[in-house]
Chain A
Amino acid sequence: MVIIENVNKTFGTKHVLKDISAKLYKGKCNFIIGASGGGKSVLMKCMVGLLTPETGSITFDGRDFLKLNYNEKISVRKDIGMLFQNTALFDSLSVEENVAFPLRMFTDFSEEQIIERVNFCLSRVNLVNLNKLFPSNISGGQKKRVGIARAIALNPKYLFCDEPNSGLDPLTSRVIDELITDITKEYNITTIINTHDMKSLFVMGENIIFIHQGQKWWEGEKAEIRPSGNKELLAFMEASEF
């Protein structure tokens, strides 16, 4: 479980995150939704340690990330897998080398064990026979799957997904959604998804946090959205429907 308490983040005079507190549950797909510029990406960057909030705490299963020393932070980070909006695959490495990268960096596996694990992760995301291709030679959906394979290579406890469906067609989006849901349940990990995609939210969303103008505006389950009567949340949902 990840617990966020009273997190504040400013950039110069702009107060981007205003006293945000939330709980993100293990074994669930936790969604952070909100309009562009509302602060959800900043919140995610604070959670993974790319940004440091001015106040508050972010606790990963009892470990307060902001109070840890450098080495302790590294050990938490090794428990984090992240799927980036633009996949962030290493251009100079092949698909196989991308997935093998965290294994080569952080384990003492033999080359055979690494390749075995890479093949397992790639088959888990339904990618076969692409090992030797480079990111520039595969499609957007395949890149996302390689990103997921890399993110799960070290068996993370926390999976962060930043706009996992951006730039994908509806069918591929559905495949990625199903993959993330299956992986979350299978490995019982805490998955945090930052998205605008309401279809994904209604398919896989379990715990939902709505960020509006830098504040946590609403939190609950998807069945509670419509009865909530929350004007801004309902307006955001209606704008996203078609």
Chain B
Amino acid sequence: MKFFQHFGEYLLFLKAVFTKPEKGKIFFKQIITESNNIGVGSFAIISLISGFIGAVSTIQIGYQLVSGILPDYLIGRIVRDSNILEFAPTVTALVLAGKVGSNIASEIGTMKVTEQVDALEIMGINAANYTSLAKIIAGVFSIPMLVLYAMILSLIGGAVSGWASGIISVESFVKGLRTDFMGYNVVFALTKAYTFAFLITSVSAFQGFRTQGGALEVGESSTKAVVYSCMSIIFFDYIISQLMLFK
């Protein structure tokens, strides 16, 4: 029962968020700032994680395909598909749920408990819109970019680790990457990325916005933002996979 109450509150929050901003110029500046925080600010961690995931997946697939019957370029093909379809969008989203989600929830939560949100409301500003819309739009714009970047970097990481460990040559790996490549897989991954970006930013903003109390509650909201974002990412990962891969 509580789930439906919270879901209803979330929908009402979104209704308040998706209204016309008070001043276009200020809103545009907010989007630029938030895109910088979310996108550029997450560049390093996504580079590190996606590079290593690509590297590890090459080693593990190489380890499982030691029969000698199958051609080694298959390693490149499997690494490509597993990274494009799952690792890059989903792992990137889970990492960003932790980094960006907790940041959004704690920032808005702190504004709430220090009466900054009340100050906005008293001035006649739609506080949900002012605090959250730019973050959601910036997230939906920049997170898919990070996912694309993670895809590319994971494949580079895979090629490098395959070559460094002697599992597969770069030529064979690239041959695997080019074999039966389907552009649809990238569309699928980007569909997930846009959905996850919306979930991370909106769920976290909602958790921040419903914070009441003090520092302790800000911490709780931040934790809830990460947990609920991760849960919804996993759930929608399943739904989108079911809908788009087995039509």
Please indicate whether A and B come from the same complex rather than being unrelated chains.
Answer: yes
Q: Hey, which bits of chain A sit against chain B, CB under 8 A?
A: 48-50, 73-75, 77-78, 80, 82, 84-86, 88-91, 101-102, 104-106, 160
Shortest Cβ gap from A65 to chain B (Å): 12
Interface pair A104/B123, CB less than 8 Å apart: no
Interface pair B26/A82, CB less than 8 Å apart: no
Interface pair A105/B122, CB less than 8 Å apart: no
Known: A88-B116, A91-B116. A50 touches B123 (CB 8 A): no
Which A residues are in CB contact (< 8 Å) with B114?
A: 86, 88, 91
Check if B40 is an interface residue, CB within 8 A of chain A: no
Main secondary structure of the interface of A (DSSP, over half): mixed
Interface pair A105/B116, CB less than 8 Å apart: no
Which B residues are in CB contact (< 8 Å) with A89?
A: 116
CA distance in complex: A123, B111 (Å): 27
> Which listed residue, A48, A75, A86, touches B122 by the CB 8 Å rule?
A48
CA distance in complex: A86, B110 (Å): 13
What per-residue 1/0 map shows which CB atoms of B102-140 lie under 8 Å from chain A?
000000001100111011011111000000000000000
Check if B2 is an interface residue, CB within 8 A of chain A: no
Check if B22 is an interface residue, CB within 8 A of chain A: yes
Interface pair A105/B123, CB less than 8 Å apart: yes
Main secondary structure of the interface of B (DSSP, over half): helix
CA distance in complex: A113, B118 (Å): 27
Interface pair A102/B115, CB less than 8 Å apart: no
Which A residues are in CB contact (< 8 Å) with B124?
A: 73-75, 77-78, 106
Q: Which of A75, A80, A88, A102 has the most CB of B within 10 A?
A: A88
Shortest Cβ gap from B77 to chain A (Å): 47
Interface pair A90/B123, CB less than 8 Å apart: no
Interface pair B123/A86, CB less than 8 Å apart: no
CA distance in complex: A88, B115 (Å): 5
Q: Hey, which bits of chain B sit against chain A, CB under 8 A?
A: 22-23, 26, 110-111, 114-116, 118-119, 121-125
Interface pair A105/B119, CB less than 8 Å apart: no
Shortest Cβ gap from A220 to chain B (Å): 28
Interface pair A105/B22, CB less than 8 Å apart: yes
CA distance in complex: A77, B26 (Å): 20
Shortest Cβ gap from A77 to chain B (Å): 4
Interface pair B23/A104, CB less than 8 Å apart: yes
Interface pair B123/A102, CB less than 8 Å apart: yes
Closest 7 CB pairs of A and B: A77-B124, A88-B115, A74-B124, A88-B119, A84-B115, A82-B122, A48-B122
Interface pair A77/B23, CB less than 8 Å apart: no
Which A residues are in CB contact (< 8 Å) with B23?
A: 104-105
Interface pair B116/A77, CB less than 8 Å apart: no
Which B residues are in CB contact (< 8 Å) with A50?
A: 118, 121-122
CA distance in complex: A157, B119 (Å): 17
CA distance in complex: A104, B114 (Å): 22
CA distance in complex: A113, B216 (Å): 42
Q: A77-B122, A80-B122 are in contact. List 17 more A-B contacts (CB 8 A).
A: A73-B124, A74-B124, A77-B124, A82-B119, A82-B122, A84-B115, A84-B118, A86-B114, A86-B115, A88-B118, A90-B111, A90-B119, A102-B123, A104-B23, A105-B23, A105-B125, A160-B122
Shortest Cβ gap from A111 to chain B (Å): 11
CA distance in complex: A104, B23 (Å): 8
> Which listed residue, B110, B115, B123, touches A77 by the CB 8 Å rule?
B123
Known: A88-B114, A88-B116, A104-B26. A49 touches B122 (CB 8 A): yes
Shortest Cβ gap from B118 to chain A (Å): 6
CA distance in complex: A91, B118 (Å): 14
Chain A to chain B contacts (Cβ below 8 Å), 29 pairs: A48-B122, A50-B118, A50-B121, A50-B122, A73-B124, A74-B124, A75-B124, A77-B122, A77-B123, A78-B124, A80-B122, A82-B122, A84-B115, A84-B119, A85-B115, A88-B114, A88-B115, A88-B116, A88-B118, A88-B119, A91-B110, A91-B111, A91-B114, A91-B116, A101-B123, A105-B23, A105-B123, A105-B125, A106-B124
